[in-house]
A and B are shown apart, each in its own frame.
Chain A
C-alpha cells in the first residue's frame, strides 16, 4: 500500500491538470473488475467545485525538464516521489472497488528520459489491464519525444491519451518550454489519430483509444489572442480529431522575466470554454466568433456578442425556425431547442408556454418572436446594455482570490 505521504506528493503535483472526464468509452467487463461508462461519471466534488471522476496521479514528479511555468521543473525546491506500477495498480483497484473513482488518469514528470518515462507509464497500464484485470477507464498522458512504438502500444491499453499542447504558439513554446516543440507534440497526436482510424477501419479485436485524444493549453502566459486560440482549437478538432481542448488560465508561481506578472483571470478561460462549446455543439465557425488578432468580449458571452453583431438575422419565430437557427439564439441551449422543436409539432407556442417549459427568456426574448409576438427590446444598443447588466459576476470575482496560495498552485502542473 502506497504511503499517505507519497500519495500526497504525487496528487499535489497532478491536481492542476484540468482534464478529468471519464466519458466516451464503452469497454466491457471481461472478468475481473470494471467497465466503461459512456456518459462519464462524477464520484465526488472537492471544495473548489471540481469533480473527482478519475484518480489523477503522477507516476513521478521528479522532472528533468525546466518548463518555466511548471512547479515540478527540475530546479524547483519541492518534495519528490516516484510510485511503482504495482502501487498504482493496487490503489486504483481498491478505490474502484469501493466506487470512489471511475478509473485512472496517469501522468508523469519526465524522469530519466522521455522513453524511460513512457515505458513506465506503458508498463503500469499494461499491468493494470492484464495482471489486475481492470477494465475501467484509463487516461494516459503522452510524453513528448518518446518512442512512437511505445506510445502506440500504450494506446492499446488506454481509453484516452493526451499530449499537452501547453502553449498556443511555437514561439511561446520555445521561450517557455524550451525542451518541448510543436514537432514533439503535433506529429504524435496525428499518428495516434491515424492509427486509431486504421484500427477501426480494419475492425481489429480489442481497443485503441475508444475515447480518443484531448489536449490542454495554458492561456495568458504568452501573448496569443483569443482569435488565434479559437482557430487553433478549431483546427485541432477538425484536423487532428480531438475530443476536447482544455484551457487553463495562467497564474504566476514563479518569478521570471519571461512570464507575465499578473494572472490571466478566470473570465478569459470561461469565455474560451463558451466559444469552444459553440464550435463543437452549436455549429459556429471560429471566424464568426472572433477576428484573427482579436479577443472575445469580456462583457458578453460569445453567442450574445455574435447575435448583437448580427441583429439583421433576428428576431426568429420559435414556431418555425429550424433547429440550427434556434441553437444560435442567445439563452437557448441544446436542451431548450430540442424541447421547442418537439412541443411545436402539437401546438403553437406562446411566451407563456415557453416559460412553462422552463426555456430561459431573459436573454432569448430579445431575439425571438412567439406566435408573431415580440417581448424584447428593439434597439441593439439597449439590448446590449440589458444583457451586460444581466451577466453573472462570478467569473470576475474569482480572479480576486488570486493570492499567494493560488500562485503556488498555478501550474497546470501536468507532465
Chain B
C-alpha cells in the first residue's frame, strides 16, 4: 500500500501507525508514481493518533522525535521512507538505535540529518541580508532543505535589535523576527525597498571579495565544493552590480 501524506509530522506519525503492520508500505509526501496493482490511501493528520505514536516512540527514545522532524525537512525525495524505516527499527528494538552505525536504516537517517544540519550551518554563513530604510533586514534564500525557521535563533541571538525576514523563495515562506516575536508565514513575492547606503556597502563588499583573492592560486573546483553554485543566486559577491 502507498500512503500519501502532506509532509507534516502529525500526518507522518498517523501514517506510521496505519502502515505499521504493512510489510510493503511506502510512505510518500511527494509525487510518487503509482506501481501497477498497488493500492493507495491518502492519510490526513489525526492528532489523537499522532499523539499516541509520539508517546510510544518517546518511551523508547525521546530524542528520536526531533530527529524525525529534521528528516522530514530534508529535500531528499526518499525522506519519508528514511524516517519510516528509522522509526520502524526503533519500534522493533524498543530502544535508541542512533549509535548502531552499521545498520542501513541508521546510516540513512544519520546521513539525512547530517545533511540538513550541515545546510543550516552553511546558511549561517551564506545568508545575505539587505537593509531597508527602517533598518529591518531582508534575506532571500533557496536552500535544498526546509530550514528557513531553523536559521532564526542564530540571527536573533546576534542581531537582537534588528527585525529581519528570511524568505525561502523556493517554498514561498518566510521566517520572521519582528524585534520580539518569531513566526513563519506564507510569502510568495516580496517588494523590498533598500536603504540609501545599501548599494554602496554591497559595492564595498564586492571590492573586498575581489581584493582578498589571490588570482595566481586559482582553485575554482575547491571554491565550488565549499560554496556550491546553486547557493550563489543571492550572494552579491558572485554577481556584477
Contacts and interface: CB of A to CB of B under 8 A. Distances in A.
Contact of B159 (A16, A56, A97, A405): A97
A52 B212 contact: yes
Interface string A345-377: 111010001001100000000000000000000
A149 interface: no
A16 B211 contact: no
A274 interface: no
Interface string A105-143: 000000000000000000000000000000110000000
A343 B158 contact: no
B217 A98 contact: no
A34 B218 contact: no
B157 to A, nearest CB: 6
A91 B204 CA distance: 9
A49 interface: yes
B101 A406 contact: no
A98 B215 CA distance: 26
Contacts of B217: 48-49, 398, 401, 406, 409
A78 interface: no
A7 B158 contact: no
A74 interface: no
B173 interface: no
Interface in A134-183: 135-136
Interface in B78-129: 99-104, 107, 121, 124-129
Contact of B219 (A29, A47, A346): A47
Contacts of A49: 217, 219-223, 226
A405 B226 contact: no
A191 interface: no
A1 interface: yes
B76 to A, nearest CB: 17
Interface in A33-76: 33-35, 37, 39, 41-53, 55-56
Nearest to B215: A405
Given A15-B212, A41-B124, A47-B220, A1 B204 contact: yes
A31 interface: yes
A379 interface: no
B185 interface: no
B149 interface: no
Contacts of B160: 29, 31
B98 to A, nearest CB: 9
Given A4-B203, A342-B99, A97 B162 contact: yes
A4 B202 CA distance: 11
A194 interface: no
Contact of B107 (A2, A11, A48, A356): A356
Which among B99, B101, B207 has the greatest number of chain A C-beta atoms within 10 A?
B101
Given A398-B217, A403-B216, 10 more contacts: A4-B207, A29-B160, A44-B126, A46-B209, A47-B219, A49-B226, A50-B214, A135-B158, A343-B99, A401-B217
28 contacts: A11-B207, A11-B212, A15-B211, A15-B213, A31-B160, A33-B158, A41-B121, A42-B226, A44-B235, A46-B214, A48-B213, A50-B213, A55-B208, A95-B201, A97-B131, A97-B162, A98-B128, A98-B130, A98-B131, A98-B201, A98-B202, A99-B155, A136-B158, A342-B99, A346-B100, A405-B216, A406-B214, A409-B217
Interface of A: 1-2, 4, 7-8, 11-12, 14-16, 29, 31-35, 37, 39, 41-53, 55-56, 91, 94-95, 97-100, 102, 135-136, 339, 342-343, 345-347, 349, 353, 356-357, 398, 401-403, 405-406, 408-409
